């Protein structure tokens, strides 16, 4: 079966760095997405990785290792507004998105 | 970026009534749209894929007669929850794919979601 695993909840301090991991097992692979979702709102796109390596975009970076079925989202210089759920999603062989359950990130002052 | 609108944003209805939710791509055409449901503290669950000009494709366990989908045009898909019951109360989100800039992938643009409460 298809499976996406990510931690349920993480806590970090304002100004610090946090890494959210995602492991996946899917039938085929056409890229991995990270989305941010604030409570009661729809998800918003953060990043896309299809090749191995690190993609940096401002305070956020995303890493992919296809051989290990592993990705992480790295958030630097954390701000209170970064408190949200972070969803990992993999595009399978049919280009359908398989979603993880999301990681709730709590930022403390 | 591309914009997807969804209407209404919130609806409260009595058990047994039907509710229609609209999803529109405002500045691009979408031959395909996706409908998701999200229960509290859970991830998105794909309900169905809406295809312009043809029947929707439903995920296993989703009743097609209860969740009617119509993709009337390249910019509009509707989801009708028929004979709604309290267990249908959820956050319904639509999305439309668009080829991402600089890459060969389809980024999903999400509508703002519709909070349905069935009393």
DSSP string, chain B: ---EEEE-SEEEE-TT--EEEEEEESSS--SEEEEEEE-TTS--EEEEEEETTS--EEPTT--TTTEEEEEEETTEEEEEE-S--GGG-EEEEEEEEEEPTTSSSEEEEE---EEEEE-
Residues of B with CB under 8 A from a CB of A: 1, 34, 42-46, 91, 93, 95, 100, 103, 105-113, 115
DSSP state of A102: -
What is the structure's pLDDT at A55? 93
Burial status of residue B29 (CB atoms within 10 A of its CB: 0-12, 13-18, 19 or more): exposed
From B43, B46, B91, residue closest to A101, measured CB to CB: B43
pLDDT of residue B100 exceeding 70: no
**pLDDT above 80 for B48:** yes
- Window 57-86 of A: residues touching B by CB (8 A cutoff) are none
Q: Do A48 and B110 touch (CB under 8 A)?
A: no
For residues A43 and B46, give the distance between their C-alpha atoms in angstroms, rounded to a whole number: 14
Query: B2 or A24: whose pLDDT is higher?
Result: A24
Mean pLDDT score across all residues of chain A: 93
- Average pLDDT (A4-15) is 96
pLDDT for residue B104 is more than 60: no
Residues of B in contact with A44 (CB under 8 A): 110
pLDDT of residue B99: 67
Distance CA B117, CA B119 (A): 6
Residue pair B46/A43 in contact by the 8 Å Cβ criterion: no
pLDDT, one tens digit per residue, over B53-90 is 889 999 999 999 999 999 989 999 999 999 999 999 99
State whether A50 and B111 contact (CB < 8 Å): no
């Amino acid at each position: 079966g298809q499976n996406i695993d990510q931690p349920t909840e993480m806590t970090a301090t304002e100004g610090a760095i946090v890494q959210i991991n995602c492991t996946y097992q899917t039938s085929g692979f056409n890229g991995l997405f990270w989305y941010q979702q604030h409570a009661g709102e729809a998800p918003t796109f953060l990043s896309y990785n299809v090749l191995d390596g690190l993609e940096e975009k401002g305070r956020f970076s995303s890493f992919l290792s296809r051989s290990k079925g592993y990705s992480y989202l790295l958030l630097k210089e954390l701000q209170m507004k970064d408190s949200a759920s972070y969803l990992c999603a993999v595009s399978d062989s049919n280009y359908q998105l398989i979603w993880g359950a999301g990681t709730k990130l709590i930022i403390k002052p | 970026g591309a914009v997807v609108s969804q209407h209404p944003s919130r609806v409260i209805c009595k058990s047994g009534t039907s509710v229609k939710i609209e999803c529109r791509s405002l500045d691009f055409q979408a031959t395909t749209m996706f409908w998701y449901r999200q229960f509290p503290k859970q991830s998105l669950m794909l309900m169905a894929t809406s295809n312009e000009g043809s029947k929707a494709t439903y995920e296993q366990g989703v009743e097609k007669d209860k969740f009617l989908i119509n993709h009337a045009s390249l910019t509009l898909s509707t989801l009708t929850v028929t004979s709604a019951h309290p267990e249908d109360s959820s956050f319904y989100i639509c999305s439309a794919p668009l080829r991402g800039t600089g890459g060969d992938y389809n980024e999903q643009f999400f509508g703002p979601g519709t909070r349905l409460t069935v009393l």
